[in-house]
Amino acid sequence: MAAKRILFLVGDFVEDYEIMVPYQMLLMIGHHCDTVCPEKKAGDFVATAIHDFEGHQTYSEKPGHRFRLNQDFDSVDPSTYDALVLPGGRAPEYLRLNDRVLEIVRHFAHASKPIAAICHGPQILAAAGVLQGRHCSCYPAVRYEVDASGGSYVAPSAHFDSAYTEGNLVTAPAWPAHPAWISQFAKLLGSKIEA
């Protein structure tokens, strides 16, 4: 397997597990991963948030780790990357307001390069206008944005551990889906993982 160059778009209060775990898993299987955030440079940090399901009407949020970025957002050339990852958390709600973020996402979508989005990450896909006619899983609260953008919402399994692949797009509802989500994304990347 040839190593792929993968771009992660993140921001402050990205979901801790949804950046840390995929980043480390994709590095582990041999891919090159770059992480960027608007208005930040290589060596800067983003704050992460830990979201959990503790029996309340919605998820809870606690401070997570600091995650170090390894590339400058302003110099990112999406044409040099093979795939894109959009983690969830609260970051997507404001990242989708950044025109350059949307431009980068459209590059991957129009070139049919693999895209993995989880939880609230599909908010960015909806804002970029790339879900028309596509099926997409996401955190249930994002369903209305998926539907409003012309996509079709794919409901999660009861334990939020399912992922859905359609063409170049792999989506999932939340971090409990990491094994399914990363496995399906790895297949799109041409990765072979021995059991």
| Residues annotated as part of the active site | 119-120
Paired residues of 86 in beta bridges: 117
* Cα separation, 156 vs 51, whole angstroms: 17
Contact by Cβ (8 Å): 87, 116: no
Q: How far is CA 26 from the centre of its chain?
A: 13
Contact by Cβ (8 Å): 66, 45: yes
Q: And the tokens for 162?
A: 């399912």
Type of residue at 59 = Y
Q: And the tokens for 171?
A: 């989506």
* Cα separation, 21 vs 116, whole angstroms: 13
Q: Which of 59, 22, 57 has the alpha carbon at shortest distance from 183? A: 22
- Locate tokens 């290589």: which residue? 42
Contact by Cβ (8 Å): 109, 126: no
